[in-house]
Amino acid sequence: MNTTNPRVRFAPSPTGMLHVGNARTALYNWLFARRAGGVFLLRIEDTDLERSEERYEAQLMEDLRWLGLDWDEGPADADSGEKGEFGPYRQSERLAIYAEHTERLLNEGKAYPCFCTPEELEAERKQAVAGHGPQVYSGRCRTLDQTTIDENLAAGKPFAVRLKIEDHPLRFHDLVRGPVEFAAETVSDPILVRSATGGAGGMSEGIPVYNYVVTVDDALMEITHVIRGDDHISNTPKQVAIYEAFGWPVPEFAHLSTILGADRERLSKRHGATSISTFREMGYLPEALVNYLALLGWGAEDGKTETFTLEELTQAFSLERVTPSPAIFDFDKLNWLNRHYLKQAEPERLATLSWGYFSAQMAGADPAAVHTWFLQLLALFVPAVDHLDQLPATSAPVFGFDAEAARANEENAAVLAADSARTVLSELANRVRAHQGRVAPEAFKEWMNEIKAATGVKGKELFHPVRIAITGAHSGREFDKLLPLIEDGAALGINIPSVRQRIERFVGV
RNA sequence: GGCGCUAUCGUCUAGGGGUUAGGACGUGAGAUUCUCAAUCUUAAAACACGGGUUCGAUUCCCGUUAGCGCUACCA
């Protein structure tokens, strides 16, 4: 095995959205390759013709690119031609290769045709369960004599191709878990190629199965380290047997633990966002997601560092430090990381990423004309969100003011019921009445000082009622930044009520 | 049922035969800002259980339990 120049692959099947679990597998593969100066390749596992869809394949590549995970070899798509010397990189385009290899195995007596029907196999399985024995294929067709085989073939009986499992333990080495061993009698002779029944089996007729093609491809593509989910551990002995049948070297394996939801069950849509594209739509930054995924099952050598750029990760990553135990996906920690990267993001980048969320509020506005103001808005509100799609809700008090709702709100009502609140608001109303035109932030600040002096009310008692009269809520962003934002926005022709209009509506000047 | 994988604070993890079992998220408290948030300080919080091995196990071994995976002519 070539350890100086490792080759690893990410081999998703295009049957759905790229899930965080798979994304983490892709990341670890990529990190391992980049760290070691090796090759990272992308292979599309579309042998499940029924479920594979082209749009998923395109989405997958887009998601990978968004995360910053580029591949050295892989299939052609809209953005680039096929890369690499080991193609094709789509399994559906490699059928002839598999057929050739199946022929070889059959000729060498390492595989055999199996004429058992699904019904027969099902009956065997039921019997095994009833007898508390392992559910393995009996090997009935393994010992068929040539005459019977020829007769069956001549009669046009459909058959699957099975591999003969040798009678010795199947071992492999796992970089995350150490040596793993399976007794031969616990591994059935696996199906390599599905039978062709003449239509009854649907589109998959005669198509080789996953365990077989994955092994052929990994060997032919000279993969040195197979890094994948731990749901493949039980498949690995079958694959090891296939390597052995062909006389190919067995690669190193690294099986990554499952990502679970808060209820300790496999993470699924039920737990909230799980697909990469959803996180993107919600306004998570790719660097936050990458950082979080890296931490989910791996830790820095110092045991302390939490934030890593992709660059830093490639320096620090090693498979030896990957933990074997399953990890629960923690949205709180992801949010913390996202806030961390949001703070560091360039304002212009944030503007580009956020603009789309405000299509309702900014309807009809000229993006160029409101750009500076929009940056101002983001500077004030981005620090208050976990992810960008929360921006419209968090900044809603800027864009509109509902005096009725403000008064009706229970918490507000409690604040407004205080004598001090009434005094403060009437003082405020007096000043608005006496003042002409726009309420300048400087003037407002002066008013607040005057009211404080005149009434003796200060702190919460002073600011909460005023805040309600202007924003409809007793808490929010700092007044000295919020007021100019509202006033500038009102002057810009976006549909934003001015400070004066708000106070007038609320106090009824 | 069979086989396999896993087991340190609520969560992600560091550590490792003798440690005050470390960090981070989250949570509580305090400071601060008009408030909330943010920030800073601080507190509470863990070696699943039972047997070995050993002078000594959270650490090594075995078992139990629990969780998860595979047990397909899915990937």
Query: What's the pLDDT tens digit per position in A383-408?
Result: 999 999 999 999 888 887 777 777 77
Please state whether strand B lies within 7 Å of residue A43 at its CB atom.
no
Query: What's the confidence (pLDDT) of residue A200?
Result: 57
Rounded-to-integer distance, Cα A210 and Cα A197, Å: 19
Q: Give residue A357's pLDDT.
A: 94
Give the CA-to-C1' distance from A410 to B25 in angstroms: 33
Q: How many domains does chain A have?
A: 2
pLDDT of residue A1: 45
- Marked catalytic residue, from A126, A269, A333, A445: A269
Tokens representing residue A44 in the block: 């599309």
The verdict on whether A110 is a catalytic residue reads no
pLDDT under 70 in chain A at which residues? 1-4, 198-202, 508-509
Any strand B atom closer than 7 Å to A230 CB: yes
The set of residues, in sequence order, having a beta carbon less than 8 Å from that of A276 and lying 6+ positions away, is A17, A18, A19, A20, A23, A63, A66, A67, A289
Q: Which of A256, A289, A308 is the last residue of a domain?
A: A256
Model pLDDT for residues A177-230, shown as the tens digit of each residue: 999 999 988 888 999 999 887 655 567 778 899 999 999 999 999 999 999 999
Domain that holds residue A127: 94-256
In a domain, A372, yes or no: no
Separation between the CA of A328 and the C1’ of B20 (whole angstroms): 30
Cα dihedral A449/A454/A456/A462 (nearest 10): -50
Contact A178, A228 (CB under 8 A): no
Could you tell me if residue A287 is inside a domain?
Answer: no
The CATH number for A199's domain is: 3.40.50.620
Q: Give distance CA A48 / C1' B72 (Å).
A: 13
What's the Cα-to-Cα distance from A264 to each of A177, A258, A268, rounded to whole Å?
21, 10, 11
Residue A294 lies in a domain: no
Check if residue A268 sits with its Cβ under 7 angstroms from strand B: no
Asked if strand B comes closer than 7 Å to A303 Cβ, the answer is yes
CATH number (domain holding residue A427): 1.10.10.350
- Of A256, A289, A316, the residue that ends a domain is A256
- Residue A100 covered by a domain: yes
Tell whether A365 is covered by a domain: no
Which residues in chain A, range 467-496, keep a C-beta under 7 Å from any nucleic strand B atom?
467, 474-480, 482
Q: A368 lies in a domain?
A: no
Q: Which helix (H) or strand (E) holds A398?
A: helix A396-399
Q: What's the confidence (pLDDT) of residue A96? A: 93
pLDDT at A457: 74
CA distances from A439 to A15, A325, A370, A447 (A): 58, 60, 21, 10
Strand B nucleotides, any atom under 7 Å to a protein CB: 1-8, 10-15, 22-26, 33-39, 67-75
> Is residue A165 a part of any domain in this protein?
yes
Q: Is the CB of A253 under 7 A from strand B?
A: no
Q: Is residue A324 part of a domain?
A: no
**Of A220, A240, A256, which residue is a domain's last?**
A256
Instruction: Give CA–CA dist A430/A437, Å, rounded.
Output: 14
| Sign of the alpha-carbon torsion through A340, A298, A262, A66 | positive
ipTM value > 0.90: yes
Q: How far apart are CA A215 and CA A310, in angstroms?
A: 30
